[in-house]
């Protein structure tokens, strides 16, 4: 980490760690929409980004945007503790296995494992952008997390990411022993585009009659072609913009006819019997809020065991903010605690 980055991290943590009343003053008039109030630390963070003229990722050339994403998530994620980390070749894809410690001792083997797919609109994001997130989830939940680097668009448009996610799931089933995983306690999860991939993998697993214990869908993209009130209400100034979403859709699905394919839009899928129970997380100030909640309702209507949790004061991307501020980390802690309760109840 360079000296400039160290200073940036320290400054951001200091500002986002200030008492909430002070943050309210610095952040400006509180932002209230749809009966919700944006968290003061997040409103301050967004204001800081504007003041320092942090470029929006969607305004940059693709490779520069990917580099910016790594830097930005490094600022908000920090360096989270973890028992151990090792690189894994997952069906020809780069993978990273996070093994937590439990009171200073290794976790039980075999144990539960979360196969994690990162967000990033299918065209950015990697093992580095979500390193802090995976460390945090694994260590707090006491659950192994295997993160996978699937192919990105525009170099590899649909169905590349979906095919990679499905191949990774099959590989995990076949190699559970070498991962320290109990095949009966394997879950899939991810945020945004990763939530989309997790949902579609769960659908494929159910259709094939393969084991899957749980699905963790954090502000999932479930209908890229759909129009919702949350997209209209929150599509500017709150990190995830309409411009970003348009670029993501154009990059991943250059053929417009594929945008309603159920492998792209699980909200439009015919749900099979036997779907794994789901925990669907949404953020109040997120353009994807409504489609995530619509998918939770669809699961419930199909008889799937599902729990919906909206964090009304959060924005899209809060899963990456575990190293600065209070409110996003608290939300992530609640998600990790749910992961522990479901997958590792005796851990």
Spot the catalytic one: 192, 230, 251, 328: 192
Please give the pLDDT value at position 3.
Answer: 45
Residue 316 falls in the annotated catalytic set:
yes
How do residues 125-155 score in pLDDT, each as one tens digit? 999 999 999 999 999 999 999 999 999 999 9
Residue 328 falls in the annotated catalytic set:
no
Residue among 140, 114, 163 nearest 264 (CA): 163
Residue among 70, 86, 80, 67 nearest 132 (CA): 80
Place of tokens 């749900």: 271
How do residues 281-316 score in pLDDT, each as one tens digit? 999 999 999 999 999 999 999 999 999 999 999 999
CA distances from 41 to 14, 135, 183, 234, 323 (A): 11, 22, 40, 18, 12
Contacts of 330 (CB under 8 A, 6+ apart): none
Residue 118 falls in the annotated catalytic set:
no
Q: What is the DSSP letter of 256?
A: G
Spot the catalytic one: 286, 290, 313, 328: 286
CA distance 110 to 290: 38
pTM over 0.75: yes
CA distance 217 to 220: 6
Please give the pLDDT value at position 34.
Answer: 97
Spot the catalytic one: 204, 230, 316, 328: 316
Please give the pLDDT value at position 347.
Answer: 63
Residue 73 has which token pair? 């998530």
């Amino acid at each position: 980490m360079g000296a400039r980055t160290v200073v940036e991290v320290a400054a951001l943590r200091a500002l986002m760690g200030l008492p909430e009343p002070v943050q309210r003053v610095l952040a400006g008039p509180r932002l209230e929409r749809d009966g919700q109030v944006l968290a003061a630390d997040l409103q301050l963070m967004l204001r800081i980004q504007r003041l320092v003229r942090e470029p929006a990722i969607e305004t940059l050339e693709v490779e520069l945007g990917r580099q910016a994403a790594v830097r930005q998530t490094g600022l908000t994620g920090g360096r989270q503790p973890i028992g151990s980390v090792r690189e894994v070749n997952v069906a020809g894809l780069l993978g990273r296995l996070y093994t937590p410690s439990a009171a200073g001792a290794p976790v039980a083997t075999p144990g539960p494992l979360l196969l994690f797919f990162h967000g990033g609109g299918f065209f950015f994001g990697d093992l580095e952008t979500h390193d802090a997130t995976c460390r945090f989830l694994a260590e707090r939940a006491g659950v192994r997390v295997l993160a996978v680097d699937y192919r990105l668009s525009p170099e590899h448009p649909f169905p590349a990411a979906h095919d990679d996610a499905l191949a990774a799931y099959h590989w995990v089933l076949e190699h559970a022993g070498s991962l320290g995983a109990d095949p009966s306690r394997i879950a899939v999860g991810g945020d945004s585009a990763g939530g989309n991939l997790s949902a579609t993998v769960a659908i494929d697993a159910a259709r094939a009659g393969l084991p899957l214990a749980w699905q963790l869908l954090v502000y999932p993209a479930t209908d890229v072609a759909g129009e919702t009130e949350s997209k209209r209400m929150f599509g500017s100034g709150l990190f995830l913009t309409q411009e970003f979403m348009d670029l993501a859709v154009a990059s991943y699905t250059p053929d417009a006819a594929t945008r309603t394919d159920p492998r792209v839009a699980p909200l439009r899928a015919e749900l099979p019997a036997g779907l794994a129970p789901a925990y669907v997380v949404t953020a109040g100030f997120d353009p994807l809020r409504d489609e995530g909640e619509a998918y939770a309702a669809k699961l419930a209507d199909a008889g799937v065991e599902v729990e919906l949790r909206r964090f009304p004061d959060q924005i899209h991307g809060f899963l990456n903010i575990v190293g600065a501020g209070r409110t996003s980390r608290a939300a992530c802690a609640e998600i990790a605690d749910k992961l522990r309760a479901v997958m590792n109840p005796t851990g």
